[in-house]
Amino acid sequence: MNMDALQLRFFGGLLWYVEMRNRALERIRTCPHGSSVFDVRMSHDLYFSYLFGAIDHVCDHLRDDPTAQRAFNYQVAVGFGDANSNGYVRELRNEIVHRGLDLSAAAHSDSATLYVPCPPTVTDRKRNKVYTSPFTYTIQLTTHCNTAANLAIDAMLEGLDLFNPAHHIVGEEETVAAIGGSPVIPDWVKAMIPSAFAGMNYSAVAEEVAAARIKKMRALLGRSETP
Protein backbone atom coordinates (compact mmCIF):
# COMPACT_ATOMS: atom_id res chain seq x y z
CA MET A 1 0.00 0.00 0.00
CA ASN A 2 1.49 3.37 -1.02
CA MET A 3 1.87 6.33 1.33
CA ASP A 4 -1.18 8.20 0.01
CA ALA A 5 -3.37 5.14 0.58
CA LEU A 6 -1.96 4.72 4.09
CA GLN A 7 -2.63 8.37 4.87
CA LEU A 8 -6.21 8.06 3.60
CA ARG A 9 -6.83 4.97 5.71
CA PHE A 10 -5.31 6.65 8.75
CA PHE A 11 -7.41 9.80 8.29
CA GLY A 12 -10.59 7.77 7.84
CA GLY A 13 -9.92 5.78 10.99
CA LEU A 14 -9.17 8.94 12.94
CA LEU A 15 -12.45 10.46 11.79
CA TRP A 16 -14.29 7.48 13.27
CA TYR A 17 -12.47 7.62 16.61
CA VAL A 18 -12.95 11.37 17.01
CA GLU A 19 -16.60 11.31 15.97
CA MET A 20 -17.43 8.49 18.39
CA ARG A 21 -15.53 10.27 21.17
CA ASN A 22 -17.45 13.49 20.53
CA ARG A 23 -20.81 11.73 20.49
CA ALA A 24 -20.03 10.11 23.81
CA LEU A 25 -18.96 13.49 25.21
CA GLU A 26 -22.26 15.03 24.13
CA ARG A 27 -24.13 12.27 25.97
CA ILE A 28 -22.10 13.01 29.11
CA ARG A 29 -22.82 16.73 28.76
CA THR A 30 -26.55 16.33 28.27
CA CYS A 31 -27.23 13.23 30.38
CA PRO A 32 -30.84 13.78 31.50
CA HIS A 33 -32.19 13.23 34.99
CA GLY A 34 -33.57 9.70 35.17
CA SER A 35 -31.08 8.19 32.72
CA SER A 36 -30.48 4.49 33.13
CA VAL A 37 -27.33 3.15 34.74
CA PHE A 38 -26.54 1.45 31.43
CA ASP A 39 -26.61 4.74 29.49
CA VAL A 40 -24.44 6.56 32.01
CA ARG A 41 -21.88 3.74 32.09
CA MET A 42 -21.89 3.33 28.31
CA SER A 43 -21.29 7.02 27.59
CA HIS A 44 -18.26 7.11 29.90
CA ASP A 45 -16.90 3.82 28.61
CA LEU A 46 -17.22 4.98 25.01
CA TYR A 47 -15.71 8.36 25.71
CA PHE A 48 -12.53 7.09 27.32
CA SER A 49 -12.24 4.17 24.88
CA TYR A 50 -12.37 6.44 21.85
CA LEU A 51 -10.36 9.27 23.40
CA PHE A 52 -7.39 6.97 23.87
CA GLY A 53 -8.28 5.03 20.74
CA ALA A 54 -7.68 8.22 18.75
CA ILE A 55 -4.43 8.95 20.59
CA ASP A 56 -3.16 5.40 20.07
CA HIS A 57 -4.21 5.47 16.42
CA VAL A 58 -2.06 8.56 15.86
CA CYS A 59 0.89 7.01 17.70
CA ASP A 60 0.63 3.86 15.59
CA HIS A 61 0.60 5.93 12.42
CA LEU A 62 3.69 7.85 13.54
CA ARG A 63 5.65 4.78 14.65
CA ASP A 64 8.16 5.20 11.79
CA ASP A 65 8.76 8.83 12.77
CA PRO A 66 9.81 8.73 16.44
CA THR A 67 10.42 12.48 16.57
CA ALA A 68 6.88 13.26 15.42
CA GLN A 69 5.48 10.59 17.72
CA ARG A 70 7.29 12.04 20.75
CA ALA A 71 6.14 15.55 19.84
CA PHE A 72 2.53 14.39 19.62
CA ASN A 73 2.68 12.51 22.93
CA TYR A 74 4.34 15.48 24.59
CA GLN A 75 1.63 17.87 23.40
CA VAL A 76 -1.10 15.54 24.65
CA ALA A 77 0.62 15.20 28.03
CA VAL A 78 1.13 18.95 28.40
CA GLY A 79 -2.50 19.50 27.47
CA PHE A 80 -3.72 17.00 30.07
CA GLY A 81 -1.66 18.77 32.74
CA ASP A 82 0.96 17.73 35.25
CA ALA A 83 2.12 14.18 35.99
CA ASN A 84 -0.73 13.65 38.45
CA SER A 85 -3.38 14.76 35.94
CA ASN A 86 -1.91 12.56 33.19
CA GLY A 87 -1.78 9.59 35.52
CA TYR A 88 -5.33 10.22 36.71
CA VAL A 89 -6.83 10.40 33.21
CA ARG A 90 -5.05 7.28 32.00
CA GLU A 91 -5.76 5.21 35.09
CA LEU A 92 -9.40 6.35 35.20
CA ARG A 93 -9.70 5.06 31.63
CA ASN A 94 -8.21 1.75 32.76
CA GLU A 95 -10.55 1.59 35.76
CA ILE A 96 -13.60 2.17 33.56
CA VAL A 97 -12.65 0.24 30.43
CA HIS A 98 -10.54 -2.60 31.82
CA ARG A 99 -11.57 -2.95 35.46
CA GLY A 100 -15.30 -2.29 35.27
CA LEU A 101 -15.54 0.86 37.37
CA ASP A 102 -19.15 2.09 37.57
CA LEU A 103 -19.46 5.85 38.08
CA SER A 104 -23.24 6.00 37.70
CA ALA A 105 -24.25 5.30 41.29
CA ALA A 106 -22.65 8.52 42.54
CA ALA A 107 -24.27 10.84 39.96
CA HIS A 108 -25.72 14.15 41.15
CA SER A 109 -28.81 15.73 39.64
CA ASP A 110 -30.23 19.23 39.40
CA SER A 111 -33.59 17.67 38.42
CA ALA A 112 -32.73 18.19 34.76
CA THR A 113 -29.22 16.85 34.14
CA LEU A 114 -27.01 14.25 35.77
CA TYR A 115 -23.47 15.21 36.79
CA VAL A 116 -21.13 12.32 37.47
CA PRO A 117 -18.42 12.99 40.08
CA CYS A 118 -14.85 12.02 39.30
CA PRO A 119 -13.52 9.46 41.76
CA PRO A 120 -11.34 11.41 44.22
CA THR A 121 -8.44 9.05 43.55
CA VAL A 122 -7.46 6.23 41.21
CA THR A 123 -4.49 3.89 41.38
CA ASP A 124 -2.35 2.09 38.85
CA ARG A 125 -2.83 -1.60 38.17
CA LYS A 126 -0.34 -2.67 40.85
CA ARG A 127 -1.96 -0.32 43.39
CA ASN A 128 1.40 1.34 43.96
CA LYS A 129 0.69 4.84 42.66
CA VAL A 130 -2.24 7.04 43.62
CA TYR A 131 -3.50 9.90 41.45
CA THR A 132 -5.95 12.56 42.61
CA SER A 133 -8.70 14.03 40.49
CA PRO A 134 -8.03 17.50 39.04
CA PHE A 135 -11.77 18.09 38.56
CA THR A 136 -15.01 17.57 40.45
CA TYR A 137 -17.18 16.17 37.64
CA THR A 138 -16.47 13.99 34.62
CA ILE A 139 -18.00 16.60 32.33
CA GLN A 140 -15.20 18.96 33.36
CA LEU A 141 -12.55 16.27 32.94
CA THR A 142 -13.78 15.04 29.55
CA THR A 143 -14.12 18.56 28.17
CA HIS A 144 -10.57 19.30 29.30
CA CYS A 145 -9.28 16.09 27.70
CA ASN A 146 -11.04 16.89 24.44
CA THR A 147 -9.43 20.31 24.25
CA ALA A 148 -5.97 18.86 24.88
CA ALA A 149 -6.34 15.99 22.43
CA ASN A 150 -7.87 18.21 19.75
CA LEU A 151 -4.95 20.64 19.81
CA ALA A 152 -2.43 17.81 19.52
CA ILE A 153 -4.34 16.03 16.74
CA ASP A 154 -4.83 19.28 14.84
CA ALA A 155 -1.11 20.09 15.02
CA MET A 156 -0.23 16.57 13.90
CA LEU A 157 -2.55 16.73 10.89
CA GLU A 158 -1.13 20.12 9.95
CA GLY A 159 2.37 18.68 10.19
CA LEU A 160 1.44 15.82 7.87
CA ASP A 161 -0.27 18.29 5.49
CA LEU A 162 -3.49 16.29 5.81
CA PHE A 163 -5.69 19.37 5.72
CA ASN A 164 -4.58 19.69 2.10
CA PRO A 165 -7.38 18.37 -0.17
CA ALA A 166 -4.82 17.10 -2.67
CA HIS A 167 -3.92 14.26 -0.29
CA HIS A 168 -7.53 13.08 -0.12
CA ILE A 169 -8.30 12.78 -3.82
CA VAL A 170 -8.32 9.24 -5.20
CA GLY A 171 -7.82 8.97 -8.95
CA GLU A 172 -10.57 7.62 -11.18
CA GLU A 173 -8.48 4.66 -12.34
CA GLU A 174 -7.69 3.71 -8.74
CA THR A 175 -11.34 3.91 -7.79
CA VAL A 176 -12.47 1.77 -10.72
CA ALA A 177 -9.75 -0.77 -9.98
CA ALA A 178 -10.70 -0.92 -6.31
CA ILE A 179 -14.36 -1.48 -7.14
CA GLY A 180 -13.51 -4.08 -9.76
CA GLY A 181 -11.24 -5.96 -7.38
CA SER A 182 -13.61 -5.90 -4.42
CA PRO A 183 -14.79 -9.39 -3.40
CA VAL A 184 -17.93 -8.02 -1.72
CA ILE A 185 -19.37 -5.87 -4.55
CA PRO A 186 -21.77 -7.86 -6.76
CA ASP A 187 -20.79 -8.38 -10.40
CA TRP A 188 -23.94 -6.62 -11.60
CA VAL A 189 -22.88 -3.49 -9.74
CA LYS A 190 -19.37 -3.70 -11.17
CA ALA A 191 -20.85 -3.96 -14.66
CA MET A 192 -22.61 -0.61 -14.16
CA ILE A 193 -19.45 1.26 -13.20
CA PRO A 194 -18.21 2.28 -16.70
CA SER A 195 -21.51 3.89 -17.66
CA ALA A 196 -21.94 5.47 -14.23
CA PHE A 197 -18.51 7.08 -14.33
CA ALA A 198 -18.98 8.19 -17.93
CA GLY A 199 -21.94 10.28 -16.83
CA MET A 200 -20.22 12.19 -14.05
CA ASN A 201 -17.53 14.78 -13.61
CA TYR A 202 -15.29 12.53 -11.55
CA SER A 203 -12.72 15.22 -10.75
CA ALA A 204 -15.39 17.53 -9.34
CA VAL A 205 -16.92 14.72 -7.26
CA ALA A 206 -13.50 13.66 -5.92
CA GLU A 207 -12.67 17.23 -4.93
CA GLU A 208 -16.04 17.60 -3.19
CA VAL A 209 -15.51 14.39 -1.23
CA ALA A 210 -12.00 15.47 -0.21
CA ALA A 211 -13.21 18.88 0.95
CA ALA A 212 -16.06 17.28 2.92
CA ARG A 213 -13.67 14.94 4.77
CA ILE A 214 -11.45 17.83 5.81
CA LYS A 215 -14.39 20.02 6.81
CA LYS A 216 -15.79 17.22 8.97
CA MET A 217 -12.47 16.66 10.72
CA ARG A 218 -12.03 20.36 11.44
CA ALA A 219 -15.53 20.54 12.87
CA LEU A 220 -14.93 17.51 15.09
CA LEU A 221 -11.73 19.11 16.36
CA GLY A 222 -13.54 22.38 17.05
CA ARG A 223 -12.04 24.15 14.05
CA SER A 224 -14.85 24.46 11.55
CA GLU A 225 -13.46 27.61 10.02
CA THR A 226 -11.60 27.54 6.72
CA PRO A 227 -7.90 28.36 7.19
116 touches 104 (CB < 8 A): yes
Q: How far apart are the first and last CA of the chain?
A: 30
* pLDDT for the residue 227: 45
State pLDDT tens for residues 85-128.
999 999 999 999 999 999 888 889 999 999 999 999 999 888 88
Helix 172-181, helix 202-220: angle, nearest 10: 80
Rounded CA separation 124/48 (Å): 16
Q: Would you list the domain boundaries of the chain?
A: 3-162, 165-227
Beta carbons within 8 Å of 96's beta carbon, 6+ residues apart:
44, 45, 48, 103
Q: Which stretches of the chain score pLDDT less than 70?
A: 1-3, 224-227
* pLDDT for the residue 161: 94
Q: What is the pTM of this model?
A: 0.90
* pLDDT for the residue 182: 82
H or E stretch at 171? none
